[in-house]
Structure 1
Amino acid sequence: MTEVRHEDVAAYALGLLGEEERVEFERHLHGCASCAEEAGAFAAMGELIKGVHPDDLLPQPQDPQVESLLVRRAATERRRRRLHRTFMSAAACLVVAAGVFLAVNSMTSGPNPDSIHSPAGALLMTGRTYSATDPTTGVSALVGLEDKGWGTHVALQLKGVKGPLQCRLMAVGDDGRSEAVASWGVPAKGYGVPGSPDPLVLHGGTSLPQSELNHFTIETSDGRTLATVQV
């Protein structure tokens, strides 16, 4: 920098110079004591004009240099706001895209989206799970278990069952004692079958502690076993 104007000194002190201009001016400051002194003075002046906008100036400014600095600061702030808006818009687009991807991915490769946010879906993802497929009926069952003070919280995911049926989930202990965990109706279209691919997902409970459970049976109301899950 062969020549330094007062406006350049003030702009540096107020942080209005671009990156290249700032680096060049700092090199100049190392060899110019007068500019270094003026930069300190202008830094103090910056506190006085920090909240002033060029539009708020009187029609006839008393100091053209101050007006110039304010105009330059306003332009810098507008440029920063534009960059901020661009960045935030890009970030918002990424968030939306990520949300769409996760939603589609969970629909195509994970559990039923409706079940993920249900107590049954959460238990099937975090609890101890056991599964089985009956070779005769083709019914597949996934059971999730969670210890509770009152017994065992039980979740069930059922596939490959056609209706109409009335069914129930039975918990059987090591001592042969059995308890009904839940009961439900299967519509004609069924669950987890062609034309109705979503599984049945539900939850219930048994007073049997998890350590005393032997197996679960999914059976119809007339006593026909659809699947048995050993635990």
Structure 2
Amino acid sequence: MSRADHMDVAAYALGVLDAQEAERFEEHLATCWACAAELETMVPVVGMLSGIDGETMMALEQTQTDPALLDRTLHAVRLDRRRTRMRQILAAAAAVVAFGALTGAGFATVFHDDRQFQQAEPAPTVPTAAPSPGPTSTDDPNIGDNIEQEGEKHNATDPGTGVRTTMFVASKDYGTQIYVQLSKLPGPRTCRLVVIRKNKTSEVVSSWSVPGTGYGTSARTTPLELSASTSAGRNDIDKIQVQSIDASGIATPLVTVDDL
């Protein structure tokens, strides 16, 4: 078995032999366990050397007379691949710069100011404590008369709890919008707003926590104001109720608007 036969192992692994040479080597490989073993060891490096063309392989064959040529050849291949990779990186960077120049401030906003996304997100409906337009006594049973809101106005005071409310109910394409103002509402407690339909089904449309000072009380004179909506049509609603929820989840009515 000649040295040339062993050199065919690398050439065969890389697929650079012509059909006649490949057939001759395969006949040799069937009877030479050394070449078969060497071919098996070549498999892991085939991927690394797959970019070497036929001319480079011819140069590799010359390492029979110049062993140092192999190292120089492999070094040249690695250097060429590094240069190709660097050109790809520079081209990508140039594309990013060009895109940034075209899009201007919008590009900077997307990649450098995520607060824009946070501002774009819709805020959930939450109860807010807002002062009335002018000095209003919480002893006035018609508290909220001076508030301008859309929809039908309804006042109610619960004789047992003393909680007072003014509600505005407006019909919408999507259902019904409800604006609520509450006073004489002590805390701390957890409350919810419930829509009770004429078919006796109910829907919780809002919930909130009441601090220890309450709302519309001597400790905190400003009433609680909140808005909510329901898919129920205006004519399908029988009553709207504010309920207090204890730690066990048991609901207790605080005030009810039932003159709808």
TM-score (ref. length: structure 2): 0.42
TM-score (ref. length: structure 1): 0.47
Between Structure 1 and Structure 2, whose CA radius of gyration is higher? Answer: 2
